[in-house]
Amino acid sequence: MKTEQNRWFIELSYNGAAFSGWQRQLNASSVQQTIEEAISIIFQKPTEILGCGRTDSGVHAKSYFAHFDTEMSFEPVDLVFKLNSILNNDIGISRICSVDNELHARFDATLRTYKYFVLFEKNPFEIPFSHYIYGTKPDIEKMNLAAQLLLGEHDFSCFEKIGSDNSTSICKISHAKWTKNESGTVFEISANRFLRNMVRAITGTLLEVGLDDISIEKFKTILKSKDRSQAGPSAPAKGLFLWEITYPNLKSYE
């Protein structure tokens, strides 16, 4: 008789500098592979983990969710401790909870939020996790005017990595705003889904608006173009964090 498998959600964070993104790939270190190898050692059998989405090489995650199925019996607190003992300091497991077998880490996420950090003052403690801009500071007011044009449901092909194989490039952005902080500015953006490289492409293009390299009218044209070559360069990966993922009723499993 086959033993029934149960589904578990893992919440984690990671420093993406040491990885070529979340997703397992040939000849490159990934967050997914690193956690799979650790949990497979503990369970003493191969265990696959499915994440809430891809992150680019070098991108970080403050809060990331993944799920796995297993028939193994364990205490979640003990598994968190064991995983953190095996994994190096680039990955931290926050919690593990049992969920309904139908809840999917990728397909059931209703909202994803990213933050991008831009630094205006040279700070050695923040530079590894920020895009440092020296000299002329971008105009935050202009960037916010352009960011408001992103709101709603649109085809965002102009900010999608060339060669992506998505079935659709339509996303619904519900929030996009730049905010000043002590050492620079932070861009926060939320949507139901994001395309490959989309947040970095949007950020880089908005920074060009702030530096007067692209006008608001040109930004409108870019949005309508569905052409990646019309938009600005992607902002460096090190300033980007996957900040929050929202699921229906996930708190009920805590």
- The whole-number pLDDT of residue 161 equals 85
pLDDT, tens digit, 9 for 90 and up, residues 199-248: 999 999 999 999 999 999 999 999 999 999 999 999 999 999 999 999 98
pLDDT, tens digit, 9 for 90 and up, residues 154-164: 999 999 987 66
- The whole-number pLDDT of residue 26 equals 82
Helical axes 76-86 vs 31-43, angle rounded to 10°: 120
| All residues at 6 or more sequence positions from 96 whose CB lies less than 8 Å from its CB, including other chains | 8, 9, 10, 11, 76, 79, 80
Measured CA to CA, the distance from residue 209 to residue 202 in angstroms comes to 11
Q: What is the pTM of this model?
A: 0.94
Residue 109 has pLDDT above 50, yes or no: yes
What are the beta bridge partners of residue 131?
118
Q: Of the listed 56, 78, 108, 155, which one is catalytic?
A: 56
pLDDT category at 250 given cuts 50, 70, 90 is confident
pLDDT, tens digit, 9 for 90 and up, residues 18-64: 999 999 888 889 999 999 999 999 999 999 999 999 899 999 999 99
pLDDT category at 253 given cuts 50, 70, 90 is low
Backbone angles phi, psi at 225, to 5 degrees: -70, -30
- The whole-number pLDDT of residue 93 equals 97
DSSP assignment of 207-234: HHHHTTSS-HHHHHHHHHH--GGGS-PP
Which residue segments constitute the domains of the chain, with CATH numbers given?
Answer: 6-107 (3.30.70.580), 111-243 (3.30.70.660)
Residue 69 has pLDDT above 80, yes or no: yes
Whether the CB-CB separation of 43 and 135 falls below 8 Å is answered with no
- The whole-number pLDDT of residue 1 equals 45
Averaged pLDDT for residues 173-180: 97
Residue 135 has pLDDT above 70, yes or no: yes
**For this structure, is 56 an active site residue?**
yes
Residue 68 has pLDDT above 50, yes or no: yes
